[in-house]
Structure 1
């Protein structure tokens, strides 16, 4: 559509300027180019040559695109080549170029003629927005693999007829992966293995038909974007919950054991103190006979021993007796049977576990 509009404008200008431009004064020249396919934002160099066409004289050379003049330069009489430089070309600079010259200087747009030969210039875009898609729901679980497919709906032109070019997978505003785009199949595949929550976001793809890649910050977005949300899997949630509950139970059991152990130590301390307090009176029972053995007849000693034994039995009825026996302070043993004719008769006696024995003989 733009080409048709340019041609119509050129035709109108030619009709309106027929009185100003002498068509016979416009002569064809040859055009040369080192590269016919260039990348976007690079400089385009075109050479117009009048060698073999002009006589030794000064002329004006015109660079024409689609048969309409775009630029004009003066060529000295001792020169045959004139170089036109188009800086930072864009995709709109693609087209058919030729050269003409004239002895008279005209406005470039007034010149409408095709030169001796024509060359086609193709400007390759640095970046092309691609179309991205993926199979499956937009919500996936952690650990799942996500596969994207990047395609291109328009005609693809590459530098040097490449079979593979680079393509980018973008996540939000950052470049996530770089993959080879198959020019024959017109697609590229991106795979995110074992997705995690930080992989959530909007995804798009961009193609790089040219090799001129300088700054990733200037990469545009794709034609569309898809949103992926990565959630924690139910299995992981169950494992975490069970671990927390088990840790709480283990902590509670440890606290219960510590408290139970402290209670047992307190009870044992109370019993031990009670037994220690009851040990002193029992020892005095055995000490009294030692102090009164001298100068006392046997009958009075026998009666005092029997009375002392009854008092000891009454003391054993106290609640501390059982506890002391369990703690190993005292033990009760049976005395051997009395010998015939003995004046001392004991039914039972107490024996201290520390192997204490009276100084005087019994029996």
Structure 2
């Protein structure tokens, strides 16, 4: 019994030594490679390109190349014996892809998480956020009157990482989750100021601000310009101008007639008499039109009396002549035709000015 125990312990010890030797052999089979990239910092949702190079490090054999982040394998590619460079692409990177990147290679194909070799030349890659929430405050009371100016202050308490160490970035003032204003955010001062001038009722709402670390503004680009400029001229409506002009002219004519009526001896009485006289003439015209229609209906219905029309037209022309002369007058029109002696009508009309 006492002899059996030492033999068992020896067997276990030998097994553990063999396992340790195998692990050490595997670890010694992973070698560092060179990492090359031009994207030390990139914006969120961009594509990351990294090259792992074994130039001058491997023999002319096929190897497995691993891209590692924080000394842990992420992606594995096979590199042919005639190649020395392998390109890795990470599409639409997120903030979690920030870290220290390195490359290793091996003649054995391990799964990426099994590769935990620490490389000697890691590169720090930083993924910059497109949007970051910021703190907002109002310089003054939260309740203001219409016509007042309101000033908002947008600040960030944490350290901002920007593309290439940019010191001026964009920031948004939002009202009810809609972008209201765009302003320059000073990374050195960690602040941006928004102003609403002459506030009105519709400016009420919930305000917030965000910063855009990936939208860099160079100092010479603080004033932004477009590719070209267009000149817009807003003209007054011609129709409106005509309406206004006609209204003014009508008022001037009416005022002039009224002054003429007032200043002329007996003119005011003439003005007052025009209304009933004109109404009587209108009644006479309506009566004549009714008689003419009755005469037409008495015929077969297919004939048309041009003589009646000519007589009526003469009456109208005489009335127009009365208005055009602008004087008092009595006009009569009669048809000399014997055939119409029974239906001859005489029209009289007195015309006077009215204020």
TM-score bucket of the superposed structures, by smaller chain: 0.5 to 0.7
Give the superposition deviation at 1:169: 0.2
CA distance 1:156–1:21, shift in 2 (3 Å): farther
Q: Secondary structure in 2 aligned to 1:79? A: coil
Aligned pair partner of 1:193 in 187, 197, 215: 197
CA distance 1:119–1:18, shift in 2 (3 Å): farther
Aligned pair partner of 1:76 in 75, 80, 83: 80
Aligned pair partner of 1:203 in 200, 207, 215: 207
CA distance 1:21–1:186, shift in 2 (3 Å): farther
Q: Is the 8 A contact 1:149 1:189 kept in 2?
A: yes
**C-alpha distance in 1 between matches for 2:142 and 2:113:** 55
- 1:289-322, Cα deviation, whole Å (9 max, x unpaired): xxxxxxxxxxxxxxxxxxxxxxxxxxxxxxxxxx
Q: TM-score, normalised by structure 2?
A: 0.54
Question: Quick check: 1:181 aligned with 2:188?
Answer: no
**Equivalence for 1:45:** 49
**C-alpha distance in 1 between matches for 2:138 and 2:113:** 50
Q: Is the 8 A contact 1:99 1:116 kept in 2?
A: no
Q: Is the 8 A contact 1:21 1:110 kept in 2?
A: no
**Equivalence for 1:22:** 26
Give the superposition deviation at 1:135: 2.4
**Equivalence for 1:92:** 96
**C-alpha distance in 1 between matches for 2:21 and 2:68:** 17
Q: Secondary structure in 1 aligned to 2:116? A: coil
Q: Secondary structure in 2 aligned to 1:209? A: strand
Runs (5+) with no aligned partner, structure 2: 1-18, 217-271, 273-355
Aligned pair partner of 1:145 in 140, 149, 153: 149
User: Structure 2 matches for 1:94-133, cutoff 5 A?
Assistant: 94-133=98-137
**C-alpha distance in 2 between matches for 1:116 and 1:18:** 24
Q: Is the 8 A contact 1:17 1:110 kept in 2?
A: no
Please, what is the CA RMSD of the aligned residues?
Answer: 2.1
Give the superposition deviation at 1:193: 0.3
CA distance 1:142–1:111, shift in 2 (3 Å): same
Runs of 4+ deviating beyond 2 Å = 15-21
Give the superposition deviation at 1:173: 2.1
Whichever structure has more strand as a proportion of its residues is: 1
**C-alpha distance in 1 between matches for 2:121 and 2:95:** 22
**Equivalence for 1:64:** 68
**C-alpha distance in 2 between matches for 1:211 and 1:42:** 13
User: Structure 2 matches for 1:332-343, cutoff 5 A?
Assistant: none
Q: Is the 8 A contact 1:64 1:114 kept in 2?
A: no
**C-alpha distance in 1 between matches for 2:110 and 2:46:** 29
- 1:204-247, Cα deviation, whole Å (9 max, x unpaired): 000001039xxxxxxxxxxxxxxxxxxxxxxxxxxxxxxxxxxx
User: Structure 2 matches for 1:291-302, cutoff 5 A?
Assistant: none
Q: TM-score, normalised by structure 1?
A: 0.53
Give the superposition deviation at 1:124: 0.2
Q: Secondary structure in 1 aligned to 2:144? A: strand
Q: Secondary structure in 1 aligned to 2:195? A: strand
Give the superposition deviation at 1:66: 1.1
Q: Is the 8 A contact 1:30 1:115 kept in 2?
A: no
| Number of residue-to-residue matches in the alignment | 199
Q: Secondary structure in 1 aligned to 2:214? A: coil
Q: Is the 8 A contact 1:170 1:177 kept in 2?
A: yes
User: Structure 2 matches for 1:154-173, cutoff 5 A?
Assistant: 154-173=158-177
**C-alpha distance in 2 between matches for 1:94 and 1:17:** 35
Q: Secondary structure in 2 aligned to 1:34? A: coil
**C-alpha distance in 1 between matches for 2:208 and 2:163:** 24
User: Larger radius of gyration, structure 1 or 2?
Assistant: 1
